[in-house]
Every structure is written in C-alpha cells, then in structure tokens.
A and B are shown apart, each in its own frame.
Chain A
Amino acid sequence: MSERKRPKLAVWKFSSCDGCQLTMLDCEDELLALTEEVRISYFLEATRKVEKGPYDVSLVEGSITTPHDIKAIREVRKQSKVLISIGACATAGGIQALRNFRNVKEFIRCVYAHPEYIDTLTTSTAISDHVPVDFELRGCPVNKYQMLEVLNAALNGRKPNIPRHSQCMECKESGTVCRMVATGTACLGPVTQAGCGTLCPGKDRGCYGCFGPMEAPNTAALAARLSQLGQSGRDIRRLFHTYNANSDAFRKEGDNHG
C-alpha cells in the first residue's frame, strides 16, 4: 500500500504505567503486518519520528492528573478523527484515582520533600471526563486481541465487537469452576466486564475487577453476598476501590462500605 493511503495512527500517553501502549508492542505476531496497514505517526515509546496531525485514529493511554494534561487532551481530540481511550487509567482514572478519595496535599507531602515543585490536580480522571471519546477499551492492562479488534473496527468504520457482559459469562463459557461458589472466595466477576480471558479464576483466585464494571452491574447484591461470605465492610470497600475505583458503579458501591 502506498505511503499516502495508509491511515495515520497516533498513540498518546497521560498518567499511567505504559502497560497498555506496551500491549501494542507485545503484538509480536501482528505488529509488522499492522504497520503495513497503518502509518505510525506519533508513538513516542516506539519512535522518535513525529508527524503532525490530523490523525485518523488516536489511542490514548493514561488518566488526566495535571492542568497541562487537560490542555493536551483537548489538542489530541482536535487532531483526531477517532479517539479511543485504552485501559483502566484512561477509562476510569486508574489506580492513581485513589487520590480522589483522600487529601492530595497530604499525599504530596508523604512522597515529596518539596511539595512546591509538584504541579498536580486533586483528582485523576478518565479521558471521557474531559473530551468526547469514540470508544473506551477496558482493562488493566487491555487485552491485545480486543485492542486489535477495536483498531480494526475503527479503521473499517464499524462498531467493535467487545462484549459488555460479566466475567461470570466468560467463566461459564470456558468451563472454569466458580471460585465464589466452590470455595467462598471474594470475586468481583459477577459485576466486572469480561475480556481478560478468565485470568484470575483460572489461577484459583477471585477476579479483582481490572476490566471495570459491566453494563448495569448489580453491585449491591454482590456486596451483600460478599458480606455473607465473611468479608468486612473495609474489605468490600477496598475490593471495589482499586483499579477502577473512580468508575461510577464501583466508586458508589465502595462508598457504601467500610
């Protein structure tokens, strides 16, 4: 395909661990083929070559945590025909959104000797809290096959095939024994969106919710069951308030406990 015709792809980073953009480089079998279909125009983790926008598709990793981030994400939106936020940081504020529940000044003092050098917002928030987003891909980190599907869909102008049902469905489909039923293990599977590939239940542990809330989750019913299983209010709050703590459903449910 000629250089001129390939759609331009940009990969952006805000506050994050780099794991979701690394997922792109982890597509070892697909990466070279992918770069024949798209032109990587901005992807600092992979290349020093920077091409100006506009871009056909932007993948955005990370959450908004500084005044500069707010300006930068507006510019990214302006330059992007399709904007896809990837991962728990970009779609819900990430683990660093735990600051939203506490006093940030105290946090800064706790880590840094000179708080005056640090420029940060009091909250860590999702990309969609600041600009319109065309699709949000969940996960901490995202699943590479889901990422390729979302890219493929965006490049072909169709809706991505990403299920919004719970992890429980995935466990049943794969014939994985239910940890909660069989061993009384605390599990967020009933309220967490599927897509990881039944990782935690497959490793004999409860789901810790890294794909965030499913569509219309019944978090109250799960919390009641967790309580019956002997989980303390504090444990229930911590379970909801971790990797997707600032997603509406998990934030509210967690706030009811502890």
Chain B
Amino acid sequence: MTSITSQKTGARRPSPAPLPDRSRKRGGRPSGLPWIMPAFVFVVGLLYYCIIETGYLSTLDWDGTSPTPTSVGFGNYSQILQDPIFWKAIWHTVVFFIVTFTVQTAIGFVFAALLHSKIKLGAVYKVLVFTPVVLAPATMAPVFRQMFAADGQLNWALDHIGLGFLSQPWLAQSSTAMPVIMFITVWQFTGLTFVLYFAAMGQIDPETLEAARTDGASNLRVLMSIVWPGVRGTTVALAMLGVIGALKTFDVPYLVTIGGPNYSTEFLGTYIYRISIPSAHVGYGAALSILLLILALLGAITVAARANRKDGESSV
C-alpha cells in the first residue's frame, strides 16, 4: 500500500530502492499474499474449517464411518440439554476450576514470593516446582494409579504413621476420586503458575517496594497491597487459561479413572471421547465439542471483561 502510493507520488518523495525484475513485472511491489498464503491456508483450513466441519457434523446422526449419515438438525443439542451426564460434567468442570485455580494460585504466588527473597538453594527449588509441568500425564498416570490404589503407597504410608483409619480405595469411590484428580492437576500445573508469577513479580518496580518498606509496611502488607495488585494481569491470564484448561480436561481423568467410578470424574473432554469413539455417536460428540468451544469462549470473554471492568474502576 505504501509503496504503491510512493510510486504515484514519486516526484515528491525519494525513490524507493529498485525492486527485483520479477516484482516490477507484477505491478511494482512484492505482494505479501504469496508469503502469508501457506500460513493462511494452514490456519484457516485446519482450524476454522475443522470448526465449521464439526458444526456440520453436530447436525448429524452418524457413527463416523457410515456413508449414509442422517441429518437431525439441532436434535443433538436438544438431547444434550436433557443429558444428565452432560450437566454432571459441567458441574465437575466448575468445581474443578474453582478448586484447582484457587489452590494453584495460592501455592504458585507464595512460592514465587518466597523464591524472590534470598533463600539458599533457590535454583533447586525452582527446578523441583517446575519439573511436574514437563512430565507427560501419560507417564505419570500409572504412578498415581498405583499410589492411590487400595493397596497403594498412600494407604501404606497412612498405615505406618498411625493414620490407618484414613486408608481407603481412593480411586474406587465417587467421593474421593475427584479430589485425587484435582490433587494430580494441582501437582502438575502449580509449577506453571509459579513461573508466571515469578516472572511477573520481577517486573514490579523495586522503588515502590522500597518505599512501602520505608513506610513501615510488613511483608504480608507488601505482598497483599503491592505485589498482588502488581501481578493482576498474570492472575487474569491464569484464570483465563484455567477456565479453558478445565473445560478441556481430558488426560488426567481419562488415564487415571476413565471418568469413573460412575461418571464421578467425567468432564466434557472425557465425555466427548467416550461418546464419539467407543460409542460411535460422532454427531452427538461433535455437538458436545461445539458447546465446549462456546463455553470456552464465553469463559475467556467473561474473565477478560471482568478484568477490564476492574481496570476501568481502579483507573477512575
């Protein structure tokens, strides 16, 4: 755009550097289109096309391979709204998000604050806290299944420290299976929360902290009145990622409890897989996927909107 205008008004502006012959033959400037085309096709083709295709599939009664799918319009959606497992999965997602986000935020924030102070072996602690983030859930799932089994290490440890009365088959009970899934998730992702808070705390102006201390603010006061508001952007980003992550939760519950017992650890992700693959209701699974997408977008928008409103209020 600029170079085209420049050619037309060339008398008043310094001439641009001579272009290669091929470009000049094509209209005087190198177009960006060929350069962005591969990425454009990739992004639009793979991402948006898949969403549109999934939207189309959600209107079918189809097993995924039959050449004769049946159109059911919005039938799958109305069926989903009456599906108790769907609502159970939504409820689990809400509880899961609230608990894991709160615990991860608290632990990550405290760890980050502690490791910003001069403590011995700080680098070692950072590695230890972050290591679970890079471990694949598929690798860790058998370990946790064994640890929380009725004859697993947790019960063994409880027995040996005189807390045998607390021993129970953790993964076999609806009441304890979900807390185990939450524990594993907190263990796995607190490192990420910690790293982001650690980086965000590094951006807080040291002079502000110094001024607060000069005014006699305690550590807790500094933490709550300066550091916490200072990392608000990170908290909002983590909340947004948390909402989306909770909605997409699949690997840990699927690998550790297969969504059970009795759907007590069923999430939208595991339900979509169960419905689409073993049960071969691809149309119904696609409708669930579209709802998941809408919920993820709504969740992210809500978190962002609330954050913007708060920003607006605090600036006033």
Partners in one complex: no
Binding site for B on A (CB under 8 A): none
User: B residues engaging A (CB < 8 A)?
Assistant: none
